[in-house]
Chains A and B, each alone.
Chain A
Amino acid sequence: MEAKQRIVILGGGTAGWMTAAALSRYLPQHGYNIQLIESAQIGTVGVGEATIPHIRQFNQWVGLDETEFMQATGASYKLAIRFRGWGQANSDYYHPFGLSGEDLYGLPFHQHWLWLQQQKAARLEDYGQYSLAVLMAQQGKFSRPVADLKDPASAFNYAYHLDATLYAALLRQHSITQGVEWLDGKVTAVAQHNNGDIAQLILEDGRQIDGDLFIDCSGFSALLIDKTLQTGYDNWQHWLPCDKALAVPSEKDPTPPSYTSSKAIAAGWQWRIPLQHRTGNGVVYCSSYLTDSAAEQELMAGLEEKALAPARALRFVTGRRKQSWVKNCIAIGLSSGFLEPLESTSLYLVQIAIESLLQYFPSNPVGDIERELFNQKMQLEYLRVRDLLILHYKLNSRPEPFWQYCAQMAIPDSLAQRLEMFKETGHLLEYRQGLFQPASWLALYLGHGLQPQQLDARLGALDPNQLQSWFSSYQHQLQQMVNAMPDHHQVLQHTELVGAAVAPAFSLYGHRG
């Protein structure tokens, strides 16, 4: 009989337990031995509570029932992110998990909307008003989407706000049931084979943990991938200059909104994540432009409920490990890189890393091909998210020095070309691999009031009045649908109101997306 392959996961934060839950779900116990080491002494980062819709598929994948999950993690539903003060001080727009409008005459909806705006159409509403997800989020409503593509309710998706500590605990419980061995201990040394592969983790109390494959989920300390294997780091701070955060919980909101809030402040932004039992708050800021005490003042002044604890400080360097998989070590979570939580993408990146690991699961010893494919995949995913985050900063027109720096900074070519293209023609070219399709790019462009120089050449042939009537009746139809939906806070208490469950779509924007 072949020896079992020994997999050691270092770290019991969300990344560690998501990995453990997924690996134990798929790898048979007769062939694999999975151990997870975490240190209660060190603890976890304790944030990471806003998600994007892909997490639904992850939960289904690892066998978590939605109702059980919502109860166990105090979760609320999430349909969008609301951006206030981005662009200009008084701007207010949503980046929804959904599409706006429908294609008309073979042209994308936003082209018509921009054109009607140019024509100064009298009854034209904000772009978001043609998105079911935005209307629901604004009006505090929630109902599950449907899979029937003819129904406008197939054009949105939803995610959750969850309590990160409770989520990790739920996944831990699941993982242990599925055979994962859980060890509490602090790793103080790492032994390597002659070829550089990691051989063993040595704990403070002297225990030695041997492994064949090591998953580094040790958070910012990146104990294996960086401290041991010395993989370099691509620093992206010149594009995303925020480097500190403060996090504070506050009392619960009795009518929690179904969106994450992101409000720009003098040199960064403030988040608000409503859960069932409390509210998560924090600021992300740039320490060269805002002192810690000023940041804390902003945070506390911006709370809508009473704080439940003192603010916790976090530091980070935005960027990504040059390689996520080196030798027999795979970094997942904060150890592999950090992109600020503006679009709630970190747990998505964890999820993608886990899925890719399972798809490219190595034998012992590891082959170059799976390593290379995994690294390419993760690089692409990081870059796609990075560019959209930079766009938030680049498009602002706020007067504060920090924002002025962001508006003027050079941006990566990949983003500059995309942005220029939109400015020229108002068109977008979608990509298949990586997050964020045109709907997301549009939410930002239009949310920031960007006006293309020209629009599609065909629009000139259309009748604006006819188009305007279509817009009005479509918007009316969406509004009627929203009127008939239950309130979000009611749904949280009465799960029977939420509508029939449908298989999650692996898209930000639902089955139509």
Chain B
Amino acid sequence: MQQPLVLIGHGLWLQMATAIVARHLQPFGYRCIALELPAKIKEPAAVACGPELATLCQMLGLPLQLVLAKAQATFSLGSQYQSGENRWFVPFGHYGLNGSAVEFEQAILQLLQQEPDSKAELFSIAAQAAHQGKFALAPANRPDLAEALSYGLHLQSAEFAACLKHFNQQLGVTFLSSQTVEIDYSAQGQISSLQLDNGAVIPVGYCLDCRAEPTADEASRTVQLFSAQDTTVLLQQPYSSVIQTSWGWLVRLPLQQGSHWFSQCTDPTADLPKIKHELQQLTGQTDWQNYTKQQPVECQPWQHNHLRFGQAAAALDCPLYNGLTALQYLLIRWLDLLPNQSSCPATALMYNQHWQQYQSEVQDFLHLHQQPLATKTGQAFARLGRVLSTETDAIKAGQWFGLMQGLGLTPELRSMLLAKRTETEIQQGLRQVQQQIARLVAAMPSQIDTLNRCLQQLSH
């Protein structure tokens, strides 16, 4: 490919995309150009990233300590849900200590039926650690714990973007900025060049478009967003909080200094003052910001040499699922296929089909939050206690299971693969795991200690 890869957009999404692309392609001598455009949508002040971020930082060679320091980040082992009196934890990591243990979740479900007061999270090391304010990276001599202790981060968006921009500049990325961009297309529908407000023309091999706002010709829906900043410091909370409201869900992301609340409402008839009132009651915060955004509904990201990653990711972006995670996925899967030609329709088609699967898995997860039994996934769980197989890791197995059992879906049928095991056998097996988890968690440091150690390592 002769022409450069040009990334366009703004803020965190542009910087993240640029970092991934530039780092991947730097060893191959690629030239990347990042074109910064003005933001049309207000970026949320904080974001929650899943376990992909840690892997990504490692791939980028971006020290975790640096991210923690620069972006005021805290760790996240998952989310603590609250719906009325009901509380439960949805971990990123799997339940039990051995990810391939056969029918482990089924054993938990059987126990819960026998002992309704018991809780699934007793068998999740992430949940146990989270409740005790503990956090540790899986030690090098226990790689088997890495999955169960999968973690994400809560970060301050603008600071994280700045940190990535610095990283990108060091990688030699050319940064341009413009108030506007004009896209020139060839007769075949390819983007041939971009024109900036100063008249400069940039030739384009591939245009990686990280803009989140839908174009006029794309279907979109109106979303009301609410956010508030809270000064309470929650360092004993290595997790996000998710609270059910009358219109949906409210999410709280703790940072090193204070925390941020987010919620969104998609019902066009919603009574906004009533929502604000409920938000105030739930959080004690009075200073709620409310703004409207147009959210793309769906998007085929790969169209000729125009990769509409921003729009595709934005179609999923909401307080319960961060679009940044989707953006990372889109980029990495695309880089896996990096074509040498600007037109490869079959590859684009397959890629877009794969993206549809990712998208539908996330949407399914989000629908579960609204009407669990209206989804096939919820119905299958309520009948058989099984999480359906997925084609991607958009949502981790622990998250599916944690959410559905927490929402109160209890299976009608028992696992036949456990039918020959006695109740006592199953209970004993589970208790052993529970004790092992309890011992491991007892020896774990608090999130505060881990954070301090990480930050000290950086200053040394």
Residues of A within 8 A of B (CB): 26-28, 31, 105-106, 358-363, 367, 369-370, 373, 417-418, 420-421, 423-425, 427, 429, 431-433, 453-458, 460-462
Of the residues A360, A362, A424, A429, contact of B354 by C-beta under 8 Å: A429
A373 CA to B413 CA, complexed, in Å? 14
- A433 adjacent to B419 (CB under 8 Å): no
Asked if residues B346 and A432 are in contact (CB atoms below 8 Å), the reply is: no
A-B contact pairs, 28 of them (CB 8 A): A26-B419, A26-B420, A31-B419, A105-B28, A358-B417, A359-B415, A359-B416, A361-B416, A373-B384, A373-B388, A417-B349, A417-B350, A418-B350, A420-B346, A421-B344, A424-B341, A424-B344, A425-B341, A427-B347, A433-B389, A453-B341, A454-B339, A454-B340, A456-B338, A456-B339, A457-B1, A458-B25, A461-B28
Q: How far is the CA of A83 from the CA of B425 in the complex (A)?
A: 49
B132 vs chain A, min Cβ distance (A) = 34
- When chains A and B are docked, how far (Å) is the Cα of A457 from the Cα of B347? 14
**Bound CA–CA A168/B410 (angstroms):** 39
Decide if B27 touches A461 in the complex (CB within 8 Å). yes
Q: Which residue on B lies nearest to A420, using beta carbons?
A: B346
Among B1, B28, B384, B392, contact of A359 (Cβ-Cβ < 8 Å): B384
Query: Given A454-B339, A454-B341, is A369 in contact with B384 using a C-beta cutoff of 8 Å?
Result: yes
Question: Which of A373, A425, A461 is within 8 Å of B344, CB to CB?
Answer: A425
Are A367 and B420 in contact, CB atoms less than 8 angstroms apart?
A: no
- Contact check: which of A31, A362, A432, A458 meets B389 at CB < 8 Å? A432
Q: Is the CB of A458 within 8 A of B380?
A: no
Q: Point out the residue from B24, B391, B419 that lies within 8 Å of A432, measured CB to CB.
A: B391
Closest-CB distance, A137 to chain B (whole angstroms): 29
B231 CB within 8 Å of chain A: no
Residue B379 is within 8 A (CB to CB) of chain A in the complex: yes
- For B380, the chain A residues whose CB sits under 8 A away are 369, 373
Contact with A along B391-410 (1 / 0, CB 8 A): 11000000000000000000
Q: Tell me which residues across on chain B come within 8 A of A431, comparing CB atoms.
A: 391
Would B347 and A424 count as touching, CB distance under 8 A? yes
Interchain CA distance A432-B412 in the complex, whole Å: 28
Q: How far is the CB of B368 from chain A (nearest CB, A)?
A: 16
Docked complex Cα distance between A68 and B439 (Å): 42
Contact B413 A361 (CB under 8 A): yes
Kindly state whether residue B277 has any CB partner on chain A within 8 Å. Answer: no
**Other-chain contact of A427, B29, B336, B419 (Cβ < 8 Å):** B336
Is the beta-carbon distance between A429 and B413 smaller than 8 angstroms? Answer: no
Cβ-based interface call for B453 (8 A) = no
Closest Cβ of chain B to A432, distance in Å, is 5
Docked Cα-Cα span, A254 to B28, in Å, equals 53
Is B351 an interface position by the 8 A CB rule? yes
CB contacts (< 8 Å) of A27 on chain B: these are 416, 419-420
Q: Is there an interface contact between A429 and B346, defined as CB atoms closer than 8 Å?
A: no
Min CB gap A513→B, angstroms: 15
When C-beta atoms are compared, the residue in chain A nearest to B335 turns out to be A106
Q: Given A421-B346, A433-B391, decide whether A427 and B28 contact each other with a Cβ distance below 8 A.
A: no
Which of chain B's residues has its CB closest to A506's CB? B100
Q: How far is the CA of A440 from the CA of B200 in the complex (A)?
A: 48
B248 to chain A, nearest CB (A): 27
Q: Is B232 an interface residue (CB 8 A)?
A: no
Among residues 349 to 367 in chain B, which have CB atoms less than 8 Å away from a CB atom of chain A? 349-351, 353-354
Contact B350 A457 (CB under 8 A): no
Q: Is B337 on the interface with A (CB-CB < 8 A)? A: yes
Per-residue interface assignment for chain B, residues 322 to 350, with 1 indicating a CB less than 8 Å from any chain A CB and 0 otherwise: 00000000000000111111001111011
Is there a chain A Cβ closer than 8 Å to B383's Cβ? yes
- Please state if B419 and A457 are interface contacts (CB–CB under 8 Å): no
Please, how many angstroms separate the alpha-carbon atoms of A368 and B279 in the complex?
A: 41
Residues of B contacting A359 in the complex (Cβ-Cβ under 8 angstroms)? 384, 386, 415-417
CA distance A425 to B391 in the complex (A): 22
Bound-state CA distance A363–B419 (Å) is 13
Q: Which residues of A contact B416 (CB under 8 A)?
A: 26-27, 358-359, 361
Report chain A residues within 8 Å CB of B339.
424-425, 427, 454, 456-457
* Structural contact, A28 and B420, CB atoms closer than 8 A: yes
Q: What is the distance, in angstroms, from B393's C-beta to the closest C-beta of chain A?
A: 9
- Smallest distance from the beta carbon of B392 to chain A beta carbons, Å? 8
> A458 near B28 (CB under 8 angstroms)?
yes
B390 interface residue per 8 A CB criterion: yes
Could you say which residues of chain A place their CB within 8 Å of the CB of B383?
367, 369-370
- Which of A26, A424, A454 has the largest count of B CB atoms less than 10 A from its CB? A424
Give the residues in chain B near A458, CB-CB below 8 Å: 25, 28, 338
Q: Given A418-B350, A421-B346, A423-B346, does the pair A363, B413 have CB atoms closer than 8 Å?
A: yes
